[in-house]
A and B are shown apart, each in its own frame.
Chain A
Amino acid sequence: MRSSNEHVFSRRDVLGTMAACGLSLSLPAMSAGTAAKRSVDRPKSLITLWMNGGMSQLETWDPHPGTPTGGLVKAIPTSQEGLQISEFLPQSAEQMHNVTLIRSLTSLEGDHARGAFYVKTGYRLEPTLVYPSLGAIVAHELPDPTIEIPPHVSLGGDNFFPRGGYLGNEWDAFRVFNPGRSLTNLKAGVSDSRLALRRTGLDLLSRQFAKGRPTAEKETLHQDNIQRALKMMSSEQIKAFELDDEPAAVKKAYGDSRFGRGCLIARRLAEGGVRAIEVCLNGFDTHVNNHEGQKTQADILDPAFATLITELRERDLLESTIVLCISEFGRDPRINGAGGRDHWPSWFSCVVAGGGFRAGLVVGETTGHVSEDQGKNVRLKPTDPITVPQLYATIMHAMGIGWHDEIITPIGRPIRFADGAPVGRLLNDELASTVRT
């Protein structure tokens, strides 16, 4: 609580008060408590930008122009002194002083399904146990009873959407296939009076069903789910999924693409207190004609990513929102006969911004010299490698989640949320000091 003798209003206070009074036009309705809390006082949210198919590190965050593996892409300077990234990301280049760039992320899987599972959960695919995705863990561990819409949302995703795994399918991401266009299944499609009559009929049948089955409701949660679904349908909070009240300039800045709209909605959802949001951008699997393919995707990513970071910062939400831009693996430094790059789990890049991650940090280094026969039997390594479990433990630590907490899974095996320990140097000084070594 702020003490009463504090007279100087910061911009943060004004924004918070405005929002609490419902004055902000662009903010979705939320409880005064949630809205008032901005900055570090707010419970944190996670926005994952999922680059589906395997984003090439070389054409994005880790270019190696002039080396045998560099391809045609050029490097450009960024807002972070001494750091260069691909020319395909000019707007993102202006944000690099705000983010942590990891160029030495490593994976164990080079297949799309297995790779996506590993990078979404931090665990390898196992036949007898489905691990929860990072987003599901975040939503599960940081509940907010004032939120009437799903706490875990996937925007524009298709295959490999984030699942609840052993936490239960109620923690699966709520999927919106075409963000900003239609709210799938959230509109009744009949008048309120007809809906009321339908509910009366449904109550009658539910009562009959419960007769002689004393555990029916507790066991099935059928009525409970319907009540909660109805509550969601009539909630003001679902406006966070709509873009009607966003200024045209803002929409344009994100880009008029499924992904751009998804990123804008992700910002609105995080603002409204939704805990974990994934926005998916498809089309990175460039086995053929990698240069053009990655450029097409980067053109979509660049404005959306840069605008998202800018907006979060301007709205004082960046300290309470982690933005993670990641892919299931990287792409082979060697260019194949079709001008494409194949799968490459040995190293790839990801960007993490906000939420206590150290701004302007670059971790790891990769080589631009990989010969044809390298990496066949022994997997190559980047310098200063960071594993996916380490990264997720760090994110969980930053969000105040016990990464080492064990859950007894349905097969009776206790399992930790993250199979690695947090890496303190990825975090700002304050958070880094709380990492146990």
Chain B
Amino acid sequence: MKPFAVVFCTVAVGALMLLVIKAGEIAPLASLPPRLESDQRIDESVLSVNQWLRKHWSDEGLEPAELADDQTVYRRLSLALHGTIPSLEEVTAFKADTSTDRIERWLLRMLDDARFSTYFADRIERVLTGVDPGQFIIFRRDRLRDWLSDQLAVDRPWHEMSADLIAADGLWTSQAASNFITAAFINGEGLDENELAGRTVRAFLGQRIDCAQCHDHPFDSWQQQDFEGLAAFYGQARVTPGGVIDRLTEQGEPAVYKIMDPGEEEGRVVEPRVPFNEEWTDIEGSRRQQLAAWVVHPDNRRFERAIANRIWGLLFGRAWYDPVDDLEHPDDEYDDVLDVIGREFRRHNGSLKFLIRTIALSDAFRLRSDVSWADEDQYAQMSQEWAVFPLVRLRPEQMIGSMYQAGRVRTTDQASHLFVRFGKLTNENDFLKEYGDATDDELLQQSGTIPQALLRMNGKFTRGFTETGAFSAAGQIMRHSGDDESVVQNCFLACLTRMPNAEERDFFVQQLQEAEQENLTAEDDTDIAAAPARSRQQVVSDMYWVLFNSPDFSWNK
């Protein structure tokens, strides 16, 4: 090898090592600023939600669970807003913050973090376009996601975002909202207006009218003609090389929308028509702009109820009403919790961050998930009525996000070094492929599966993340924590965001001590081949394995 190449390689490897070492260092987190006065306006909204909840529990004859400790709530928030558990670095800083309003302040900080906007953009994008790959070239999922992320970062009002998505014209690359439309493009057939009508009502109004495409809704009052009328609002939309436009006839007149009934050659003209409150569509503009005006109209309660139920679902892992997009028509006589939350959301100009904070600061989100007094039936009823925090399985992306984070001491966020982020992305994709990505309806309650258990127990991800190398969390905790008790504590904090209880602590401390004794014995006595001794590294690695596979890790609680 030429001397130049040797020098170059040495410098390159050295630089890489420095990066790796830097990535492993723990830097103290800056302390958080106090809440601004404007941030405190939320208190009134939270109070109204809490009053509703307390009355609801009392009407149901339920005594709610006690309030959970802040660390538990912090973990829930991190899972919901960043898709991962907090890092050991973050948990340590959080524990050091002893102020009484630390949840509120840490919540604000999480919402300002780029991890929130990117993670939530993913969640919302899935609602809008599903998980089918769509037609590549004209459907740019990445652009739509980036656009959503930008909107979320600046907290653009939800009604404005929704209107953009429904009515956007232009190219899928520059006018990224138009990908909501192009996602429904089918090769050889053009835009699927039915798909768009169904998605619009599901995503923005939280109702399912898809079955009304072929027949009247079996339980609800949706009629087949309602569906056709809504689809007709998309009937002029067309995908051209210049982007999405509303089509005109050769004479410059707006095109008509026709439905081909079986056996009919001519087709039947269908005019756009909304199933209720036609006056809300009464604006100047294209058919899609009229539809958007109707969907987001300030008096359309379905719009705010739908997003309230969706955000509730994303925070808890289970929507208030399940399935998340099958709400009944609103009741004129009675306000449920979605009406209360939705009203506060409207009053605060459709701010999604405000909506998230309202739900996250409500009593329901802060209750413990265990109760000492309830039997099986009582517990099930409490869970049903949100009088105890529900046990919900982590979604696949939360699972891998958490495993990845637990495998490192530092926070792996947008500010991480490129290679850390690259490693995270590759790992995530591989894991999702094997663990099974959630489908369109990622809030659907599913039990875990055996292949998932096998992957958690034996997969390469677990093997990689439980190793005790110089840069892994397990390795760093083992080397730098100090005594055995601290090693156990830090492993628990890194994986479960909680301290071990006495029984757990004693169990693992004893194993660490036994490993050490056996190592000592090994020096004194050469004849130990028969004893299946574990090294200290193996004990820590096995402890990490146990934590990864524990129900605490894969269930939000």
**Which residue numbers of A lie inside 8 Å of B, CB to CB?**
110-111, 113-114, 125-128, 130, 150, 168-170, 172, 174-175, 184-191, 193-194, 197-198, 201-202, 204-206, 208-209, 211-216, 218-223, 225-226, 228-230, 232-233, 410-413
Contacts and interface: CB of A to CB of B under 8 A. Distances in A.
A201 B543 contact: yes
Contacts, number: 164
A346 to B, nearest CB: 13
Contact of A214 (B198, B323, B379): B379
Contact of B457 (A191, A212, A226): A226
A197 B542 CA distance: 8
Contacts of B550: 202, 205-206, 209
Counting from the closest, the 4 A-B pairs by CB-CB distance are: A212-B370, A201-B546, A193-B532, A205-B550
A184 B461 CA distance: 12
B458 interface: yes
B187 interface: yes
Contacts of B188: 110
B450 interface: yes
Nearest to B370: A212
Contact of A189 (B450, B452, B463): B463
Nearest to A130: B439
Interface of B: 130, 132-133, 186-188, 195, 198-199, 202, 208, 210-211, 218-219, 323, 326, 368-372, 374-376, 379-380, 383, 391, 393, 434, 436, 439-440, 444, 446-455, 457-459, 463, 501, 503-504, 507-508, 511, 532, 534, 538, 542-543, 545-547, 549-552, 554-555, 557
A127 B199 contact: yes
Contact of B532 (A191, A228, A410): A191
Given A113-B133, A198-B542, A413 B447 contact: no
B143 to A, nearest CB: 20
28 contacts: A110-B188, A125-B132, A127-B195, A127-B202, A170-B447, A174-B450, A189-B463, A193-B532, A194-B534, A202-B550, A204-B504, A205-B504, A205-B552, A208-B503, A208-B504, A209-B550, A214-B379, A216-B391, A218-B376, A220-B551, A222-B448, A225-B452, A226-B457, A228-B450, A229-B454, A233-B454, A411-B208, A413-B218
A137 B202 CA distance: 28
B538 A194 contact: yes
A191 B547 CA distance: 19
Contacts of A126: 210
A411 B547 contact: no
Contact of A197 (B132, B379, B534): B534
A211 B370 contact: yes
Given A208-B504, A225-B449, 18 more contacts: A110-B188, A111-B186, A127-B198, A174-B451, A185-B451, A185-B454, A185-B455, A193-B532, A197-B534, A198-B546, A198-B549, A204-B503, A208-B552, A215-B380, A222-B555, A226-B453, A228-B453, A229-B453
Which among A125, A204, A213, A216 has the highest number of chain B CB atoms within 10 Å?
Answer: A213
Contacts of A172: 436, 449, 451
A411 B211 CA distance: 11
Which among B130, B370, B552 has the highest number of chain A CB atoms within 10 Å?
Answer: B370
B512 to A, nearest CB: 12
Nearest to A225: B453
Which among B188, B219, B451 has the highest number of chain A CB atoms within 10 Å?
Answer: B451
Contacts of A185: 434, 451, 454-455, 457-459
Which among B393, B511, B549, B551 has the highest number of chain A CB atoms within 10 Å?
Answer: B551
Contact of A411 (B323, B375, B383, B447): B323
Which among A111, A175, A228 has the highest number of chain B CB atoms within 10 Å?
Answer: A111
A169 B446 contact: yes
A150 B532 contact: no
A177 B532 CA distance: 34
Nearest to A209: B551
